[in-house]
Chain A
Amino acid sequence: MTSFRAIAPILALLAGLAIPVRFGLAHHSFAMFDPSNPVTITGTVKEFQWVNPHVTLWVYTAAKEGETPELWNIELTSPGNLTRIGWTRHTFSPGDKVAVEIAPLRDGTHGGGFRKATLTDTGQELTANFQAQEKPDLQ
Protein backbone atom coordinates (compact mmCIF):
# COMPACT_ATOMS: atom_id res chain seq x y z
CA MET A 1 0.00 0.00 0.00
CA THR A 2 1.29 3.41 -0.90
CA SER A 3 2.01 5.41 2.20
CA PHE A 4 0.69 8.95 2.54
CA ARG A 5 4.25 10.10 3.02
CA ALA A 6 5.14 8.75 -0.41
CA ILE A 7 2.32 10.50 -2.24
CA ALA A 8 2.25 13.70 -0.16
CA PRO A 9 4.58 15.61 -2.51
CA ILE A 10 2.34 14.68 -5.45
CA LEU A 11 -0.77 15.81 -3.58
CA ALA A 12 0.93 19.06 -2.66
CA LEU A 13 1.85 19.63 -6.28
CA LEU A 14 -1.71 18.94 -7.43
CA ALA A 15 -3.09 21.28 -4.78
CA GLY A 16 -0.74 23.96 -5.97
CA LEU A 17 -1.84 23.53 -9.57
CA ALA A 18 -5.54 23.45 -8.86
CA ILE A 19 -6.27 27.15 -8.50
CA PRO A 20 -4.13 30.13 -9.32
CA VAL A 21 -3.48 31.62 -5.93
CA ARG A 22 -4.54 35.18 -5.38
CA PHE A 23 -5.68 36.46 -2.12
CA GLY A 24 -8.48 38.66 -1.05
CA LEU A 25 -9.15 41.18 1.60
CA ALA A 26 -10.21 38.84 4.33
CA HIS A 27 -7.22 39.13 6.63
CA HIS A 28 -4.83 39.48 3.80
CA SER A 29 -1.65 41.01 2.67
CA PHE A 30 -2.02 44.00 0.36
CA ALA A 31 0.83 42.70 -1.75
CA MET A 32 -1.57 41.45 -4.42
CA PHE A 33 -2.23 45.07 -5.28
CA ASP A 34 0.34 47.00 -7.27
CA PRO A 35 0.85 50.40 -5.64
CA SER A 36 3.51 51.37 -8.18
CA ASN A 37 1.02 51.51 -11.05
CA PRO A 38 -2.06 53.30 -9.77
CA VAL A 39 -4.97 53.61 -12.16
CA THR A 40 -8.10 55.71 -11.98
CA ILE A 41 -11.49 54.13 -12.56
CA THR A 42 -14.14 56.57 -13.68
CA GLY A 43 -17.76 55.57 -13.60
CA THR A 44 -20.87 55.03 -11.53
CA VAL A 45 -21.25 53.34 -8.16
CA LYS A 46 -23.23 50.11 -8.41
CA GLU A 47 -23.06 49.26 -4.73
CA PHE A 48 -21.20 50.19 -1.57
CA GLN A 49 -20.93 47.10 0.60
CA TRP A 50 -20.35 48.22 4.20
CA VAL A 51 -19.34 44.84 5.59
CA ASN A 52 -16.57 43.13 7.44
CA PRO A 53 -13.90 42.18 7.05
CA HIS A 54 -13.48 44.67 4.22
CA VAL A 55 -15.72 47.26 2.71
CA THR A 56 -16.13 46.92 -1.05
CA LEU A 57 -17.03 49.59 -3.57
CA TRP A 58 -18.45 48.29 -6.86
CA VAL A 59 -18.10 50.64 -9.80
CA TYR A 60 -19.33 50.39 -13.39
CA THR A 61 -16.94 52.10 -15.73
CA ALA A 62 -18.24 54.69 -18.14
CA ALA A 63 -18.55 52.93 -21.49
CA LYS A 64 -18.54 54.40 -24.93
CA GLU A 65 -21.36 53.75 -27.36
CA GLY A 66 -21.64 50.05 -28.08
CA GLU A 67 -19.28 49.01 -25.29
CA THR A 68 -20.24 47.06 -22.22
CA PRO A 69 -19.38 48.76 -18.92
CA GLU A 70 -16.82 46.93 -16.84
CA LEU A 71 -17.62 46.13 -13.22
CA TRP A 72 -14.72 46.74 -10.85
CA ASN A 73 -14.52 45.78 -7.19
CA ILE A 74 -12.46 48.14 -5.09
CA GLU A 75 -11.57 47.07 -1.62
CA LEU A 76 -10.98 49.00 1.56
CA THR A 77 -10.33 48.36 5.23
CA SER A 78 -13.03 47.42 7.77
CA PRO A 79 -16.14 49.44 8.62
CA GLY A 80 -14.67 50.09 12.07
CA ASN A 81 -11.45 51.54 10.75
CA LEU A 82 -13.29 53.63 8.15
CA THR A 83 -15.76 54.93 10.75
CA ARG A 84 -12.83 56.31 12.71
CA ILE A 85 -11.69 58.43 9.80
CA GLY A 86 -15.15 59.79 9.24
CA TRP A 87 -16.69 57.42 6.70
CA THR A 88 -20.20 55.99 6.97
CA ARG A 89 -22.15 53.37 5.10
CA HIS A 90 -23.66 56.27 3.15
CA THR A 91 -20.34 57.69 2.00
CA PHE A 92 -21.15 56.28 -1.44
CA SER A 93 -24.60 55.59 -2.83
CA PRO A 94 -25.61 53.66 -5.94
CA GLY A 95 -25.59 55.99 -8.89
CA ASP A 96 -22.87 58.30 -7.55
CA LYS A 97 -20.46 59.44 -10.24
CA VAL A 98 -16.94 58.74 -9.06
CA ALA A 99 -13.32 58.75 -10.04
CA VAL A 100 -11.46 56.22 -7.92
CA GLU A 101 -7.71 55.84 -7.82
CA ILE A 102 -6.73 52.28 -7.05
CA ALA A 103 -3.71 50.07 -6.76
CA PRO A 104 -4.79 47.49 -9.31
CA LEU A 105 -4.72 43.75 -8.83
CA ARG A 106 -1.49 42.41 -10.24
CA ASP A 107 -3.29 39.64 -12.11
CA GLY A 108 -5.11 42.13 -14.32
CA THR A 109 -8.63 41.32 -13.22
CA HIS A 110 -11.02 44.19 -12.59
CA GLY A 111 -10.26 45.07 -9.02
CA GLY A 112 -7.89 46.85 -6.76
CA GLY A 113 -7.11 48.41 -3.44
CA PHE A 114 -8.63 51.81 -2.74
CA ARG A 115 -6.28 54.82 -2.66
CA LYS A 116 -8.59 57.81 -2.99
CA ALA A 117 -11.82 58.84 -4.65
CA THR A 118 -13.51 61.95 -5.89
CA LEU A 119 -17.27 62.32 -5.95
CA THR A 120 -17.64 63.95 -9.35
CA ASP A 121 -20.81 65.91 -8.61
CA THR A 122 -19.55 67.57 -5.42
CA GLY A 123 -15.81 67.46 -5.90
CA GLN A 124 -15.49 65.88 -2.44
CA GLU A 125 -12.28 63.91 -2.12
CA LEU A 126 -12.04 60.85 0.11
CA THR A 127 -9.01 59.04 1.41
CA ALA A 128 -8.83 56.04 3.69
CA ASN A 129 -5.44 56.04 5.32
CA PHE A 130 -6.42 55.04 8.82
CA GLN A 131 -2.85 54.08 9.65
CA ALA A 132 -1.63 57.64 9.19
CA GLN A 133 -2.71 58.47 12.71
CA GLU A 134 -1.04 56.38 15.35
CA LYS A 135 -1.26 58.17 18.64
CA PRO A 136 -3.60 58.36 21.61
CA ASP A 137 -6.67 60.48 22.06
CA LEU A 138 -7.42 61.10 18.39
CA GLN A 139 -10.36 63.38 17.69
Chain B
Amino acid sequence: MASSVHRLERAWRSGGDMRLKGMIGAAVLLLAAGAGAAAEPREIDPAPSAADWAALAKLPDWSGVWTPGIRDQNAQITTNPPPWTPDVAAQMAELAAQEKAGHPRGLFIDCLPEAMPSWMLISHNAVEFLFTPGRVTLLGESDGNRLRRIYTDGRSHPADPDPSFHGNSIGHWEGDTLVVDTIGVLPQTYIAVSEAVGIPNNGDLHVVERLHLAEPDVLHDDLEITAPHVLTATWHTTRIYFRQRAKKYEIIEGECLQGSFKDGVDAKGNAIFLPQPLVDGNPRAQ
Protein backbone atom coordinates (compact mmCIF):
# COMPACT_ATOMS: atom_id res chain seq x y z
CA MET B 1 0.00 0.00 0.00
CA ALA B 2 2.72 2.42 1.06
CA SER B 3 4.76 1.66 -2.00
CA SER B 4 1.86 2.32 -4.32
CA VAL B 5 1.22 5.64 -2.60
CA HIS B 6 4.85 6.55 -3.03
CA ARG B 7 4.67 5.59 -6.65
CA LEU B 8 1.68 7.89 -7.14
CA GLU B 9 3.44 10.67 -5.29
CA ARG B 10 6.53 10.31 -7.44
CA ALA B 11 4.47 10.31 -10.59
CA TRP B 12 2.61 13.43 -9.47
CA ARG B 13 5.78 15.34 -8.59
CA SER B 14 7.53 14.33 -11.78
CA GLY B 15 4.71 15.83 -13.80
CA GLY B 16 4.57 12.57 -15.67
CA ASP B 17 1.66 10.56 -17.00
CA MET B 18 -1.38 12.85 -17.25
CA ARG B 19 -3.76 9.91 -17.28
CA LEU B 20 -2.37 8.73 -13.97
CA LYS B 21 -2.72 12.25 -12.62
CA GLY B 22 -6.32 12.29 -13.65
CA MET B 23 -6.93 9.05 -11.85
CA ILE B 24 -5.35 10.42 -8.70
CA GLY B 25 -7.50 13.55 -8.93
CA ALA B 26 -10.64 11.47 -9.31
CA ALA B 27 -9.66 9.34 -6.32
CA VAL B 28 -9.15 12.46 -4.22
CA LEU B 29 -12.54 13.79 -5.28
CA LEU B 30 -14.20 10.51 -4.38
CA LEU B 31 -12.54 10.53 -0.98
CA ALA B 32 -13.68 14.12 -0.41
CA ALA B 33 -17.25 13.21 -1.40
CA GLY B 34 -17.13 10.29 1.01
CA ALA B 35 -15.93 12.55 3.79
CA GLY B 36 -18.76 14.98 2.99
CA ALA B 37 -21.34 12.19 3.21
CA ALA B 38 -19.97 11.24 6.59
CA ALA B 39 -20.34 14.82 7.82
CA GLU B 40 -23.89 15.24 6.45
CA PRO B 41 -25.66 11.88 6.51
CA ARG B 42 -28.13 11.24 3.74
CA GLU B 43 -31.60 12.18 4.98
CA ILE B 44 -34.01 9.33 4.50
CA ASP B 45 -37.52 8.37 5.44
CA PRO B 46 -36.89 4.98 7.03
CA ALA B 47 -39.11 2.06 6.15
CA PRO B 48 -41.80 1.67 8.80
CA SER B 49 -41.44 -1.27 11.10
CA ALA B 50 -44.18 -3.69 12.10
CA ALA B 51 -44.29 -1.84 15.41
CA ASP B 52 -44.85 1.48 13.57
CA TRP B 53 -47.84 0.01 11.75
CA ALA B 54 -49.16 -1.57 14.95
CA ALA B 55 -48.87 1.77 16.75
CA LEU B 56 -51.44 3.27 14.37
CA ALA B 57 -54.09 1.10 16.02
CA LYS B 58 -53.62 3.11 19.21
CA LEU B 59 -54.60 6.35 17.50
CA PRO B 60 -58.21 7.53 17.69
CA ASP B 61 -60.55 6.27 15.01
CA TRP B 62 -61.06 9.08 12.48
CA SER B 63 -62.19 6.79 9.68
CA GLY B 64 -65.15 7.66 7.51
CA VAL B 65 -65.89 10.83 5.62
CA TRP B 66 -66.26 14.14 7.42
CA THR B 67 -68.69 16.78 6.20
CA PRO B 68 -68.20 20.38 7.31
CA GLY B 69 -70.61 22.32 9.51
CA ILE B 70 -71.46 25.05 7.04
CA ARG B 71 -74.12 26.77 9.12
CA ASP B 72 -71.57 27.26 11.88
CA GLN B 73 -69.05 28.63 9.36
CA ASN B 74 -71.63 31.19 8.33
CA ALA B 75 -72.67 32.04 11.88
CA GLN B 76 -69.08 32.84 12.83
CA ILE B 77 -68.92 35.58 10.19
CA THR B 78 -70.74 37.72 12.76
CA THR B 79 -70.19 35.88 16.05
CA ASN B 80 -66.43 35.41 15.76
CA PRO B 81 -64.92 37.62 13.08
CA PRO B 82 -61.15 37.68 12.65
CA PRO B 83 -59.42 40.56 14.42
CA TRP B 84 -58.69 42.41 11.21
CA THR B 85 -56.36 45.38 11.19
CA PRO B 86 -58.27 48.64 10.59
CA ASP B 87 -57.14 48.79 6.97
CA VAL B 88 -58.22 45.21 6.30
CA ALA B 89 -61.48 45.70 8.19
CA ALA B 90 -62.34 48.49 5.76
CA GLN B 91 -61.61 46.19 2.81
CA MET B 92 -63.74 43.45 4.38
CA ALA B 93 -66.63 45.87 4.89
CA GLU B 94 -66.43 46.80 1.22
CA LEU B 95 -66.43 43.16 0.10
CA ALA B 96 -69.30 42.32 2.42
CA ALA B 97 -71.28 45.27 1.06
CA GLN B 98 -70.65 44.08 -2.50
CA GLU B 99 -71.87 40.61 -1.58
CA LYS B 100 -74.93 41.99 0.18
CA ALA B 101 -75.72 44.10 -2.87
CA GLY B 102 -75.65 41.01 -5.05
CA HIS B 103 -72.35 41.76 -6.74
CA PRO B 104 -69.96 39.53 -4.83
CA ARG B 105 -66.32 39.39 -5.61
CA GLY B 106 -65.44 35.71 -5.96
CA LEU B 107 -62.20 34.88 -4.19
CA PHE B 108 -61.79 31.46 -5.76
CA ILE B 109 -63.28 31.73 -9.23
CA ASP B 110 -59.83 31.21 -10.75
CA CYS B 111 -59.96 27.63 -9.44
CA LEU B 112 -56.69 27.99 -7.57
CA PRO B 113 -56.84 26.03 -4.31
CA GLU B 114 -58.78 27.44 -1.39
CA ALA B 115 -55.52 26.52 0.34
CA MET B 116 -54.54 27.11 3.94
CA PRO B 117 -56.23 28.28 5.98
CA SER B 118 -59.39 28.79 3.90
CA TRP B 119 -59.86 25.11 3.09
CA MET B 120 -60.35 24.51 6.80
CA LEU B 121 -62.41 27.69 7.28
CA ILE B 122 -65.03 27.82 4.52
CA SER B 123 -65.09 24.60 2.52
CA HIS B 124 -68.46 23.07 1.72
CA ASN B 125 -66.81 19.82 0.73
CA ALA B 126 -66.00 16.63 2.59
CA VAL B 127 -62.61 15.53 3.89
CA GLU B 128 -61.07 12.27 5.05
CA PHE B 129 -58.04 11.43 7.19
CA LEU B 130 -55.47 8.76 6.45
CA PHE B 131 -53.04 7.58 9.12
CA THR B 132 -49.78 6.01 8.02
CA PRO B 133 -46.55 5.69 9.98
CA GLY B 134 -45.10 9.15 10.48
CA ARG B 135 -47.86 10.97 8.69
CA VAL B 136 -51.46 12.11 8.67
CA THR B 137 -52.90 12.94 5.26
CA LEU B 138 -56.01 14.97 4.65
CA LEU B 139 -57.72 14.22 1.37
CA GLY B 140 -60.47 16.52 0.20
CA GLU B 141 -62.93 17.04 -2.53
CA SER B 142 -62.81 19.90 -5.04
CA ASP B 143 -59.75 22.00 -5.83
CA GLY B 144 -58.27 19.19 -7.90
CA ASN B 145 -58.56 16.61 -5.12
CA ARG B 146 -56.91 18.75 -2.51
CA LEU B 147 -54.63 17.24 0.09
CA ARG B 148 -52.52 18.16 3.08
CA ARG B 149 -49.52 16.16 4.27
CA ILE B 150 -48.89 16.47 8.00
CA TYR B 151 -45.64 14.85 9.10
CA THR B 152 -45.83 13.27 12.54
CA ASP B 153 -42.40 11.62 12.47
CA GLY B 154 -40.79 14.11 14.82
CA ARG B 155 -39.18 16.29 12.20
CA SER B 156 -38.92 20.06 12.41
CA HIS B 157 -40.01 22.54 9.78
CA PRO B 158 -37.36 23.22 7.14
CA ALA B 159 -35.43 26.38 7.93
CA ASP B 160 -36.67 28.06 4.77
CA PRO B 161 -39.55 26.07 3.23
CA ASP B 162 -40.61 26.77 -0.32
CA PRO B 163 -43.93 28.63 -0.01
CA SER B 164 -46.88 26.52 -1.12
CA PHE B 165 -50.67 26.65 -1.08
CA HIS B 166 -50.95 24.33 1.92
CA GLY B 167 -47.64 25.14 3.54
CA ASN B 168 -45.35 22.92 5.52
CA SER B 169 -47.17 21.03 8.26
CA ILE B 170 -45.71 19.06 11.13
CA GLY B 171 -47.84 17.41 13.75
CA HIS B 172 -47.73 15.43 16.95
CA TRP B 173 -50.24 13.64 19.09
CA GLU B 174 -51.13 14.90 22.54
CA GLY B 175 -53.28 12.06 23.74
CA ASP B 176 -56.08 11.81 21.18
CA THR B 177 -55.52 15.34 19.86
CA LEU B 178 -53.48 15.93 16.73
CA VAL B 179 -51.59 19.21 17.05
CA VAL B 180 -50.53 20.61 13.70
CA ASP B 181 -48.18 23.50 13.05
CA THR B 182 -48.16 25.04 9.60
CA ILE B 183 -45.83 27.64 8.09
CA GLY B 184 -44.50 28.28 4.59
CA VAL B 185 -47.85 29.26 3.09
CA LEU B 186 -47.93 31.51 0.03
CA PRO B 187 -48.79 35.12 0.92
CA GLN B 188 -51.54 35.11 -1.71
CA THR B 189 -53.69 32.49 0.02
CA TYR B 190 -56.79 33.94 1.57
CA ILE B 191 -58.00 34.14 5.12
CA ALA B 192 -61.63 33.94 4.09
CA VAL B 193 -64.89 34.02 6.00
CA SER B 194 -66.96 33.30 2.90
CA GLU B 195 -66.35 32.67 -0.77
CA ALA B 196 -66.65 36.40 -1.41
CA VAL B 197 -65.11 37.94 1.70
CA GLY B 198 -61.48 37.41 2.61
CA ILE B 199 -58.00 38.87 2.38
CA PRO B 200 -54.66 37.43 1.26
CA ASN B 201 -52.65 36.53 4.35
CA ASN B 202 -49.85 38.70 2.93
CA GLY B 203 -47.06 36.62 4.43
CA ASP B 204 -45.70 35.21 7.70
CA LEU B 205 -48.83 33.12 8.23
CA HIS B 206 -48.64 30.66 11.10
CA VAL B 207 -51.47 28.25 11.83
CA VAL B 208 -51.70 25.95 14.82
CA GLU B 209 -54.52 23.42 14.82
CA ARG B 210 -55.75 21.03 17.45
CA LEU B 211 -57.92 18.34 15.87
CA HIS B 212 -59.88 16.11 18.20
CA LEU B 213 -63.17 14.30 18.60
CA ALA B 214 -65.59 16.50 20.53
CA GLU B 215 -68.17 13.72 20.33
CA PRO B 216 -67.82 10.19 18.99
CA ASP B 217 -68.79 11.35 15.48
CA VAL B 218 -68.07 15.08 15.66
CA LEU B 219 -64.56 16.34 15.03
CA HIS B 220 -63.37 19.80 15.95
CA ASP B 221 -60.48 21.67 14.41
CA ASP B 222 -59.48 24.37 16.88
CA LEU B 223 -57.46 26.85 14.85
CA GLU B 224 -55.08 29.57 15.97
CA ILE B 225 -54.31 31.77 13.01
CA THR B 226 -51.53 34.30 13.26
CA ALA B 227 -51.14 36.64 10.29
CA PRO B 228 -49.31 39.75 11.43
CA HIS B 229 -49.93 41.73 8.24
CA VAL B 230 -53.72 41.46 8.35
CA LEU B 231 -54.68 40.50 11.92
CA THR B 232 -54.04 42.48 15.09
CA ALA B 233 -53.94 39.32 17.20
CA THR B 234 -54.05 35.57 16.82
CA TRP B 235 -57.53 34.54 15.70
CA HIS B 236 -59.04 31.57 17.52
CA THR B 237 -61.81 29.73 15.75
CA THR B 238 -63.19 26.21 15.67
CA ARG B 239 -64.48 24.36 12.66
CA ILE B 240 -66.84 21.40 12.99
CA TYR B 241 -66.97 18.20 10.96
CA PHE B 242 -69.56 15.42 11.08
CA ARG B 243 -68.62 11.80 10.47
CA GLN B 244 -70.50 9.95 7.73
CA ARG B 245 -70.30 6.24 7.11
CA ALA B 246 -72.94 5.80 4.42
CA LYS B 247 -71.20 4.79 1.20
CA LYS B 248 -72.76 7.63 -0.73
CA TYR B 249 -70.66 10.00 1.38
CA GLU B 250 -67.38 8.57 0.13
CA ILE B 251 -65.10 11.19 -1.35
CA ILE B 252 -65.36 11.51 -5.09
CA GLU B 253 -62.99 13.14 -7.54
CA GLY B 254 -63.34 16.86 -7.92
CA GLU B 255 -61.43 18.92 -10.45
CA CYS B 256 -62.32 22.58 -10.16
CA LEU B 257 -61.31 23.43 -13.73
CA GLN B 258 -63.49 20.72 -15.26
CA GLY B 259 -66.39 23.14 -15.34
CA SER B 260 -64.39 25.35 -17.67
CA PHE B 261 -64.58 22.69 -20.37
CA LYS B 262 -67.24 20.74 -22.17
CA ASP B 263 -67.13 17.32 -23.75
CA GLY B 264 -66.05 17.33 -27.37
CA VAL B 265 -64.63 15.24 -30.18
CA ASP B 266 -61.60 16.14 -32.30
CA ALA B 267 -61.29 15.73 -36.06
CA LYS B 268 -60.05 12.15 -35.65
CA GLY B 269 -62.90 11.13 -33.39
CA ASN B 270 -61.01 11.30 -30.09
CA ALA B 271 -62.86 12.34 -26.96
CA ILE B 272 -61.45 15.66 -25.83
CA PHE B 273 -62.26 18.57 -23.61
CA LEU B 274 -63.18 21.79 -25.36
CA PRO B 275 -62.92 25.17 -23.68
CA GLN B 276 -66.34 26.36 -22.61
CA PRO B 277 -67.14 30.05 -22.75
CA LEU B 278 -67.32 31.34 -19.22
CA VAL B 279 -68.19 34.64 -17.71
CA ASP B 280 -66.47 34.93 -14.37
CA GLY B 281 -66.55 31.21 -13.93
CA ASN B 282 -70.09 30.70 -15.21
CA PRO B 283 -70.77 28.61 -18.28
CA ARG B 284 -72.56 30.78 -20.80
CA ALA B 285 -75.18 30.02 -23.38
CA GLN B 286 -73.78 29.80 -26.90
Contacts and interface: CB of A to CB of B under 8 A. Distances in A.
A137 B106 contact: no
B67 A27 contact: no
B195 A73 contact: no
Contacts of B71: 131, 134
B103 A32 contact: yes
A51 B258 contact: yes
Interface residues of A, number: 42
A86 B249 CA distance: 10
B114 interface: yes
A60 to B, nearest CB: 10
A137 B67 CA distance: 10
Interface in A53-80: 53-54, 56, 58, 71-73, 75, 77-80
Interface in A74-92: 75, 77-81, 83-84, 86
B interface residue count range (under 10 / 10 to 19 / 20 to 34 / 35 or more): 35 or more
B124 to A, nearest CB: 7
Interface stretch (A6-14, A17-25, A94-102, A120-128): A17-25
A78 B106 contact: no
B126 A72 contact: no
A22 B103 contact: yes
Given A73-B285, A110-B285, A31 B280 contact: no
A116 interface: no
Nearest to B104: A29
A29 B106 contact: yes
Interface of A: 19, 21-29, 31-32, 34, 49, 51-54, 56, 58, 71-73, 75, 77-81, 83-84, 86, 106, 110-111, 131, 134-139
